Structure 1
Amino acid sequence: MSDRQPIPNINIGQVYDQRYSDAEVHYDRLGNLAGFFGRNMPVHRHDRFFQVHYVKTGVVRVYLDDQQFVERGPMFFLTPPTIPHAFVTEADADGHVLTVRQQLVWQLIDADPSLAPGPQLPAACVALTPLGAEGEGEAARLDYLFEELNGEIIATQPGRGAALDSLTRLIMTRLLRLCANSLPARPARHEDLKIFHRFNELIEAHYLQHWPLSRYADGIGVTEARLNDVCRRIADLPSKRLILERLMQEAKRLLLFTGSSANEICFALGFKDPAYFSRFFQRYAQMTPGEYRQRQSGLR
């Protein structure tokens, strides 16, 4: 593993939603995050934060460290701080994503150690459907609690901070109770995962240079066909799509968080023709860069 690059640490409040850069709790709908980051989320971690993805509908492919899970909602996966994880959401997947500072979760476990199986809380992936009536009841309660949390996030009512804290603690308590039902991991080809993660590392390092796929394959030491086969097996996406999604993610970030014009962003992303960049963006976002900036600004 010595040839691997350090696992990227993502502070979601700084990278995705700067309104909450110093917040104890960050929440958004899974569909909104997938719209920003793309369907493929390469290996990363969240230093000092616990994160839970509650997938209400659709299928998600999850990689918790070297463990693989492919599950349909309702389900959730919990990632403790520093645990490397990756996931790919299907186009129809939606739900909720909650990111909380580690101290909040530690306080819950300190108050009642039976919430955790041991001193180190492991990553967990839990499907609710196999739990039968109990799972249906938990799914209904979690749906309600997440919608209440969403309502408090959107509104600016008196007592908002206390309500967010209480709802977050209640959600995390229910999820920690369910972690005892964590699923066994599916067998995964170690070599495939190694190729896939290395491909994502190279994308991160070179997407602005618009490398052709052949150069990525050469950098990994595999054929283009082998690389594409691995990407389809692990992410259910063609290899070229993963490169394009990283470009789109950066384009969206620059449109949201900088005052740069679309032309300036075009050149910053390595495109030579603003008209081509606009067509590229519109093809994948179903709107022009200007429309995206205007629409998202109205939501923030």
Structure 2
Amino acid sequence: MTKEWIPNIDIGQDYDASYNDAIIHFDKLGRMADFFGRDMPMHLHSQFCQIHLVKTGKTLFNIDQNNYETNGCAIFYTPPATPHAFLTEPSSPGYVITIHSSFLQTIMSHLDAYRINDSLLMPFCISKETTNSERSSHWDTMSNLFSMLKHEWALNAQYKSQAIEGIVTMIFINMLRLCDAPQVKKQHNYSEVESFRAFSTLVENHFTSQRQTSFYCDQLNMNDSRLHYICKKIANISPKKIINGRALLEAKRLLSHTNMNLTEISYTLGYIDPSYFSRFFIKNVGVSPSEFRQNNRHEQDLTSVETNDY
């Protein structure tokens, strides 16, 4: 069987070379669609998150295992390295902001977003049509912020990059307000947040080869009880479940978006014994890998309408 994988698109290299080293890229939704085509299959951006604002029309957005369908103005947030496909009516106006993960980490550190139910680590959709009336005013603010960003992007003025970063930060804040993220009740010191961030980065880099917490403790120079305490305090989940969860997420992506067979997927994820991997998957997901693939394949068929993404 021919292996397939989800293509990784680098905005600077594959689309706009003038912003090859930029941490933020801003563009019209339709302009990107014209460049990449309106029937682009599932793809990801390994080091970038994205914010899509669609102003009008019906939209279907598939982010990983999540399907979002909206009618009218909506915002879609895609974390870094997350497969997605985006379909909208051909004439729907909107904008796309592509943000490097380094700046996302800066925003999360300033907002301490790790404390807010991992708000910026998971995808979400905000629809104006279904927004609570008490939060509807934030849509006016969001519209103004995108207008400011569009204006600043076109300028060649002093402190342009600082202004753009400030506006994008405000967009993130308003997204969290529209999501009605809960107020922080528990305080975490800076070292705990940095340790959790370092652990998360290590898991992202090594989850296919290292699934024992002892490896991560050695790399972080801390004992197991300390790592467990930090993960439970900040993310309310054990380090072992974080490691296994990352492997399961990758397994779901491979099952949903590729034609790799079970043996190939097992080896890709570092499991030498495919039967052990199957038992691990069934225990944590509740169905076999083949059943999961069968149940989710139809959800990935997004070719029935034109796409305005890339």
Same fold? TM cut 0.5: yes
CA contact (8 A) 2:61 2:68 kept: yes
Which residue number corresponds to residue 18 of structure 2? 19
Verify: 1:79 aligned to 2:84, yes or no.
no
Which residue number corresponds to residue 69 of structure 1? 68
Show the 5 A alignment for 1:71-150.
71-114=70-113, 116-118=116-118, 121-150=121-150
Residue by residue over 1:102-141, the C-alpha shift from the partner in whole angstroms, topping out at 9 and shown as x without a partner, is: 1222222222335741387111112122114345422221
Counterpart Cα distance in 2 of 1:22 and 1:158: 19
Counterpart Cα distance in 1 of 2:90 and 2:256: 20
Which residue number corresponds to residue 304 of structure 2? 236
Number of corresponding residues: 199
Structure 1 stretch 163-172 or stretch 33-42: which is displaced more?
A: 33-42
Give the AA of the match of 1:236: S
Show the 5 A alignment for 1:165-244.
165-179=165-179, 234-237=302-305
Give the AA of the match of 2:76: F
Give the AA of the match of 1:170: M
1:166 to partner: Cα distance: 0.8
1:16 to partner: Cα distance: 1.4
CA contact (8 A) 1:116 1:176 kept: no
Say what the alpha-carbon RMSD is for the aligned residues. 3.3
1:194 to partner: Cα distance: 10
Counterpart Cα distance in 2 of 1:173 and 1:159: 21
CA contact (8 A) 1:27 1:96 kept: yes
1:197 to partner: Cα distance: 5.4
Counterpart Cα distance in 1 of 2:34 and 2:135: 28
Give the AA of the match of 2:104: V
Counterpart Cα distance in 1 of 2:6 and 2:97: 21
1:120 to 1:31, Cα distance in 2 relative to 1, 3 A:
closer
Instruction: Provide TM-score, normalisation by structure 2.
Output: 0.56
1:41 to 1:138, Cα distance in 2 relative to 1, 3 A:
farther
1:106 to 1:195, Cα distance in 2 relative to 1, 3 A:
closer
Which residue number corresponds to residue 280 of structure 1? none
Give the AA of the match of 1:235: T
1:18 to partner: Cα distance: 1.2
Structure 1 stretch 129-138 or stretch 18-27: which is displaced more?
A: 129-138
Which residue number corresponds to residue 7 of structure 1? 6
SS in 2 for 1:44: coil
Give the AA of the match of 1:144: N
Show the 5 A alignment for 1:253-292.
none
Structure 1 stretch 171-180 or stretch 101-110: which is displaced more?
A: 171-180
Counterpart Cα distance in 1 of 2:81 and 2:254: 19
Counterpart Cα distance in 2 of 1:131 and 1:69: 15
Residue by residue over 1:46-86, the C-alpha shift from the partner in whole angstroms, topping out at 9 and shown as x without a partner, is: 11111110111122111111221211231111111111111
Counterpart Cα distance in 2 of 1:150 and 1:143: 11
Which residue number corresponds to residue 205 of structure 2? none
CA contact (8 A) 1:50 1:102 kept: yes
Counterpart Cα distance in 1 of 2:87 and 2:258: 16
1:153 to partner: Cα distance: 1.0
Counterpart Cα distance in 1 of 2:149 and 2:168: 8
Percent sequence identity is 31
Residue by residue over 1:219-264, the C-alpha shift from the partner in whole angstroms, topping out at 9 and shown as x without a partner, is: xxxxxxxxxxx79x73333xxx89xx9xxx9xxxxxxxxxxxxxxx
Which residue number corresponds to residue 209 of structure 1? none
Which residue number corresponds to residue 160 of structure 2? 160
Instruction: Provide TM-score, normalisation by structure 1.
Output: 0.58
Higher RCO (Cα < 8 Å, 6 or more apart):
2
CA contact (8 A) 1:128 1:138 kept: no
SS in 2 for 1:28: strand
Which residue number corresponds to residue 39 of structure 1? 38
